[in-house]
Amino acid sequence: MKLSKSGCSAWTSLWTQVLWHLRNTAKLAGTPVLPVFCKHRGVNHSYPARGHNMPRTIPFLLVLILLPIARADAQSAQDLSATIQPFVDRQELAGAVMLVADKDKILTTQAVGWADIAAQKPMRNDSMFWIASQSKPIAAAALMMLVDEGKVSVDDPVEKYLPEFKGQMVVAEKDDEHILLRRPKHPITVKNILSHTSGLPFKSAIEEPTLDLFPLSLRVRSYAMTPLEFEPDSKYQYSNAGINTAGRIIEVVSGMPFEQFLDERLFQPLGMKDTTFWPTEDQVARIAKSYKPGAGKQGLEETTISQLYYPLSDRTQRFPMPAGGLFSTAHDVARFYQMLLNRGELDGKRYLSETAVEQLTSRQTPPELPTSYGFGFSVSETTFGHGGAYSTNTTADTQRGLILVWLVQHAGFPGEGAKAQGVFKNAALESLGKNDQ
């Protein structure tokens, strides 16, 4: 059993009283006592050695000790939904699924509000969401698996794996009348495309009206034909094109489609059964409706995912988008982050080396740039994670050993709806963040 520091203090005090009772009970006279170390307080507790009788009063005392602790933990979990419900009541948030986990287990999963307001369909723990750019860390992790295998180096130029990038130019001058191109100081590298420092644009001209209409190979070829917008390493510019290019490298090096690589190497072994580019009809029914602010920025109006082609289950017109195409659940996202908090391993299976995890989740952008980004992750000294276009977010706090998953489906919020995520985070850390990991 895992207790908070305050819970352990209470346990220490009560257990001391139990030991006093044990030692003063004739039935246990001479019974060996074993030490137990409490890492919160740096003190040793003791309990009777196995095989020796315990007085009948002791189980009753243990129930009295554990019951209030269990009630406190349950109350802490209940408080998360209560903190978010006012946003739903004010029609500033349709609904949300919130999950808090440590590296070993799910601490709580809670759903609040509506998955479909018009149909009065409640949000559920297994509701599905377009996680959008939360796909980026997954694509980056997949590429690092090939790095671990010695098949890719992050310092290599992209053109080593994708020859169409040879000879790519950079914009030297540009105005309404002309564009002047020149050769960049060095070709873009794998590190550049994973850290948004390549100079590639957010998307290419062919990615209209949605981002998923063309095969990955065709989209990536269009990036190679597009001039870089700045010298590699000189700026940070968020780029779907860069992460999509990383996905194409995975296809070329592994010899399998990007979606197949993810499914075989990550999703199936991690138990991420609801993570996909193409939700089935049954899964589509579980996808939370998308909402935007209503007229006059009052209330909520149902909308669609404008970046994707419909129907979402169509495998003939829709193609995988490594930078932002995945649908998933809170449970599945948590499994991926648990693997990372465990330094690349989960349930006895290793997915990534500790070195790869360190590269993914620590700063890779040059120190002179203001933005701190790893390989596919937004990072700080104590956190790594990513958000998504429709307001989803997952953060792993390495200091506290916690994973916070916030899944909603919003293209903007009326009123103070945008503050709901911060309220969830603060409530989660307050109620569950003090547990020792």
CB 214 within 8 A of CB 206: yes
Model confidence pLDDT, tens digit, residues 371-395: 999 999 999 999 999 999 999 999 9
Q: What is the DSSP string of 54-91?
A: --THHHHHHHHHHHHHHHHHHHHHHHHHHHHHHHHHTT
Mean pLDDT of the chain: 87
pLDDT of residue 2: 43
Confidence of residue 47 (pLDDT cuts 50, 70, 90): very low
The stretch 428-435 carries a mean pLDDT of 76
Closest CA to 46 of 19, 25, 76, 24: 19
pLDDT of residue 431: 86
CATH architecture of 81-431: 3-Layer(aba) Sandwich (3.40)
pLDDT of residue 434: 52
Asked if pLDDT for residue 271 goes beyond 50, the answer is yes
CB 327 within 8 A of CB 130: yes
Higher pLDDT, 156 or 16: 156
Asked if pLDDT for residue 335 goes beyond 80, the answer is yes
pLDDT of residue 328: 98
The H or E element spanning position 12 is: helix 5-23
Can you give the residue ranges of every domain in the chain?
A: 5-73, 81-431
Asked if pLDDT for residue 87 goes beyond 70, the answer is yes
pLDDT of residue 76: 52
Asked if pLDDT for residue 10 goes beyond 70, the answer is no
Model confidence pLDDT, tens digit, residues 113-127: 999 999 999 999 999
Residue with tokens 């919160």: 40
Q: Are strands 33-38 and 43-48 parallel, antiparallel or unpaired?
A: antiparallel
Q: Which long-range contacts (CB under 8 A, 24 or more apart) does 65-71 make?
A: 65/10, 65/11, 65/14, 65/15, 65/18, 66/1, 69/3, 69/7, 69/10, 69/11
Model confidence pLDDT, tens digit, residues 304-322: 999 999 999 999 999 999 9
Structure tokens at 267: 């999703």
Note the pTM of the prediction, 2 decimals. 0.83
